[in-house]
Structure formats: C-alpha cells, structure tokens
C-alpha cells in the first residue's frame, strides 16, 4: 500500500467553519448533545468529584476547579449533579443514552458537511442503530479504561485507534459494531500521531472555554471542533479508500 497521505489542519478547520456557518443553531444543539457523552473512566471520576473542593480553598481555586471541570467534559455531569442525580445514575445515563447519542450526533455533523441536517439525523441512532453504537462505544470505553490503568501512552493509542468508530457506524448503516471497530483501526493506521497533533491545535480554544466557564465552548469551540472532526473523517476515509484502490490495482 502506498504511503499514508496526510492533511493540512488549516484546510480541515476552514471546512469546519464553513459547515458551522451552514446551520449554526443546530450545530450548537447537536454539539451540546454530543458533549453529554463522557468516557467511562471520566464519568466515574466526575460523578464522585467534589466540584467545590474543600471549604478552606480560596474562591479563585474553586472557580478554577469549576472551569476545568466544564472545559474538560464535565459540564453535563456537573449539571446533572446539581439536579440531584447521584453518581451511579450518572454513569448509567452515560452508558445507556449518551454513549449512543454521540453516534447520532456524528451522523448529524457528517450530513451537515454537505447539506442542512436536522434533529432527525441525531434521533436516527435510537431508531436504527442503537445497539450497534452502544456495543461499539462501550467496547472502546472499556479498552481505554483498562489500558489507562496501566500507562497513559497505551490509553492514548487505544483512543486514537478507535476514534472514527462513531463516524463509521453513522456513515455505513449496515456495518456491524465489530467491523466498525476494525475499520477504525485500519483507517487510523499511520494517522494516530497526526490526529493527535490536530487535536492539540485546539488547545487555545479550550483555554478560552475555561476562561469563560464553558460559554465559549458551548457557543463556538465545541460545534466548531465537531464540524471539523466530521470533515477530517471524510478526508481520512477518502485517503484510505484511495490507498485500497491502489493496492488492489
């Protein structure tokens, strides 16, 4: 097979901005739903976290802890905790509902990259592919959690190996969850480091999200990143299929 092709992060981001402009309000809503999903290990940790730390901490330390929680995926868990929902229920909601919901949102962002998408594209997952998405994402959660108990690097490799799984299930309606996992591993072969670097280019926006207690994340950074991620999936898929054709030809 020919050498793995790359992409320019600036081009992917530009495509993401174009997709975001196409349907800004719906992108914000879909991105919020997508953010409800939190990796299993993080959900367990956050569900038992004392958001406000100890009573002896300064107001600055408490606000920093709150901002960090919101900017790193803890916002939905924080909201649910403030509603009085306990940790066990939080984890169950994450596994049973939010887990599959991210695949429905992936379908929304894939469609939105070429045409106006709607809420029906998000809800599609619960009508057609719920158990496929549930099993695939739960498998990824367990693998990352197990590898994460050993070393950081293996968990990182596992995360990027399966990072395309939700997009594959959303894009190929007849694929099984096992084949989707295998496809993601194959598509990410030779691309994990570049994807990691791509993610690092959004650190500035994450810091801005922290500084605004998550508001910049909800109304720009998160939907912008989700739109760009969908565009990156399309680019990786096109390169992967091109390589497959070259190999077979």
Q: For 176-213, what is each residue's pLDDT tens digit?
A: 999 999 999 999 999 999 999 999 999 999 899 888 87
pLDDT for the residue 237: 97
**Contact predicate 77/92, CB 8 Å:** no
Task: Report the predicted TM-score, pTM, of the whole model to 2 decimal places.
Answer: 0.84
Residue keyed to tokens 């029906």: 120
Q: How far apart are the first and last CA of the chain?
A: 10
pLDDT for the residue 55: 46
**Minimal CA–CA distance to 106: which of 137, 76, 79, 78?**
137
pLDDT for the residue 122: 94
Tokens of 128: 């057609």
pLDDT band at 82 (very low <50, low <70, confident <90, very high): low
In three-state secondary structure terms, 118 is coil
The pLDDT of residue 160 is above 90: yes
Question: Once rounded to an integer, what is the mean pLDDT over residues 18-22?
Answer: 96
Question: Once rounded to an integer, what is the mean pLDDT over residues 135-141?
Answer: 91
**Contact predicate 76/36, CB 8 Å:** yes
Domains in the chain: boundaries: 9-34+100-248
The pLDDT of residue 228 is above 50: yes
Tokens of 237: 């898929």
Q: Which residues in 91-104 are b (16+ Cβ under 10 Å) and which e?
A: bebbbeebbbbbbb
**Contact predicate 93/80, CB 8 Å:** yes
Between 61 and 240, the more confident residue is 240
pLDDT for the residue 1: 41
């Amino acid at each position: 097979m020919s050498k793995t092709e790359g992409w320019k992060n600036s081009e992917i981001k530009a495509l993401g901005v174009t997709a975001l402009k196409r349907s800004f309000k719906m992108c914000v809503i879909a991105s919020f739903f997508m953010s409800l999903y939190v990796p299993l290990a993080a959900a367990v940790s956050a569900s038992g976290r004392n958001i406000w730390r100890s009573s002896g901490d300064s107001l600055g330390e408490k606000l920093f802890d709150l901002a960090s929680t919101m900017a790193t995926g803890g916002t939905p868990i924080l909201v649910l905790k403030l509603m009085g929902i306990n940790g066990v229920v939080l984890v169950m909601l994450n596994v049973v509902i939010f887990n599959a919901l991210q695949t429905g949102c992936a379908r929304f962002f894939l469609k939105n990259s070429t045409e106006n998408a709607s809420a029906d594209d998000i809800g599609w997952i619960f009508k057609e592919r719920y158990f496929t998405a549930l099993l695939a994402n739960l498998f990824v959660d367990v693998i990352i959690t197990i590898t994460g108990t050993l070393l950081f690097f293996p968990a990182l490799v596992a995360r990027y190996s399966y990072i395309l799984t939700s997009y594959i299930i959303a894009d190929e309606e007849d694929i099984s969850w096992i084949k989707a996992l295998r496809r993601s591993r194959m598509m990410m072969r030779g691309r994990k480091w570049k994807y990691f670097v791509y993610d690092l280019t959004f650190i500035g926006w994450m810091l801005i999200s922290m500084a605004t207690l998550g508001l910049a994340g909800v109304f720009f950074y998160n939907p912008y990143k989700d739109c760009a991620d969908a565009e990156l999936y399309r680019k990786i898929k096109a390169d992967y299929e091109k390589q497959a054709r070259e190999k077979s030809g």
